[in-house]
Structure 1
Amino acid sequence: MGEIPPYVQAQLSEGVLELTLNRPERRNALSADMYTELACQLQFASQDQEVRVVLLTGAGEAFTAGSDIDGFETSAKDRDTAPARAFIEALIDCEKPIVAAVNGVAVGIGVTLLLHCDLVYSADCARFRLPFVNLGLVPEAGSSLLLPRLMGFHRATELLLMGDWFEAHQAERFGLVGEVFDTVALMSQVRARARHLAAQPSEAVWQTRRLLRTHRTELRECVEHELATFNRLLDSVDAREARLAFREKRPPRFR
């Protein structure tokens, strides 16, 4: 048998570290191991002088379907939230610009991680969803702070409370995506932009990012509060019912 390819593929070329979520059979749903590897890669990028830009995308027809729901089924005592926390912290702390190429479906943290990226581009086929409340949970990754600042309180509230799908051009109008490309052209366009950014003067890029990110202390406090609430609700009656209904392919019956 051949070697199983890694769930996170990393390739460094021309100063761009391209990270590809590579679990297409599960729509690139993020397992604990994937969170850990992504955090390690972002920490490596921050420290390695050869890396000037990080490019994040997905394999197949999805960007990522969010956290792997199977990881929610362990008891609160045994549940390890450290990998997801480490990934979020690595996003916040990354010293290099992060460029996202949303090549398909983006759900949950597949959307909220974009709030920490410097440049976000999308394929015209991409669809987005924030189904935290639908799953009996609350948003994470600082999105309760960053999303209203990005698109306004009422728009953010609607997306978070209703959990409806929205399309790539809507995401562009909301300010979540910088530009939408034809699906076939997405990666060539984004790689060209990532290489252009990698060729920019590194000190000026670093200082500009620092000036743009003056809210880190407030953001960390928000992330901590979100995660504490998220973990508490994971064991709630409604969250368990949402997961059971998802597996049984039926509408949930909430309290």
Structure 2
Amino acid sequence: MSETVLQELDDRGVLLLTLNRPQRKNAFSNEQWQAFGDAIEAAGENPAVACVVVTGAGKDFSSGVDLADFGESEGEHPFNACARKLVNFDKPVVSAAKGVAVGGGATLLLHTDVVYVGESLRMRFPFTSLGLVPEWGSSYQLQAVIGARRAAELMYTSEWLDAGKALSVGIATGVFSDEELLDKAMAKAREIAQWPVSSLVETKRLMRDVHRKAIHAAMDAEQAGMEKLAGKPENIEAVMAILEKRAPDFSQFRK
């Protein structure tokens, strides 16, 4: 079992999954994508699990993909496999996110059913600022969660959201202090887990199946968009600006 995702199942049927790379703001390495996907898959098959809680170790939820460890892999990439497993997961998921939730850390939250955030939350869907496109079905899922107009504003601007904005637009279900966040999420998960797992599974299927085909189609289209834009001059400029700690200059590509 990988130490990049800690697992703790209590006697109430709540499985706590903790993203555990705090020294990297819980940025996802290939190993962590694999571990998280495996944990979700195992939770789906384990009759003792009624509800899952996802949180991050340390001060942050997740800063998204670890660019230092996102190379090629044999067969299906761990990110794609993990994304597909969470989209298809049939048990309730409660998330507890504080600090940074960016990129994959933000899009992951869109696939959880109850989203509790801490007051320190700083969330961003940064894809246009990177010269790229959305990922993990978020081009569809964000619209499904908060509506097309608000989703367009967030995706086009790559703006930062604090906890209050995340709540007001409809991404977050509730806001709590960082200190009480995980306790509140665990309490809600235990409230959910008291009911028959079979009923929870069928209820989630009824609520989610109407969206899953569209999410998978969006993921395929997003992959094509990523392949089209990754490595292009605008994307390179965005990455170099991050490395050089400066603002990117995209105006040079409009001449």
Normalising by structure 2, report the TM-score.
0.92
Structure 1 position 6 matched with structure 2 position 3:
yes
| Residue of structure 2 in register with 1:139 after alignment | 134
Gaps of 5+ in 1: none
CA RMSD of aligned residues (A): 1.6
Structure 1 position 249 matched with structure 2 position 208:
no
What are the within-5 Å matches in structure 2 for residues 1-255 of structure 1?
A: 6-14=3-11, 15-71=13-69, 78=72, 82-213=77-208, 214-254=210-250, 255=253
Give 1:79 deviation, angstroms.
6.3
* 1:13-67 per-position Cα deviation (integer Å, ceiling 9, x unaligned): 1211111111111111111111011000000001011111111000111100011
Give 1:215 deviation, angstroms.
2.1
Q: Which runs of at least 4 in structure 1 moved beyond 3 Å after TM superposition?
A: 78-81
Q: Distance in 1 between matches of 2:113 and 2:235?
A: 33
Q: Distance in 1 between matches of 2:98 and 2:249?
A: 33
What SS does the aligned partner of 1:17 have? Answer: strand
Q: Which amino acid aligns with 1:48?
A: N
Tell me the matched-pair count: 247
Equivalent pair of 2:98/2:122 in contact (CA under 8 Å): no
Give 1:154 deviation, angstroms.
2.0
Q: Distance in 2 between matches of 1:154 and 1:70?
A: 34
Gaps of 5+ in 2: none
Q: Distance in 2 between matches of 1:180 and 1:115?
A: 16
Give 1:129 deviation, angstroms.
0.6
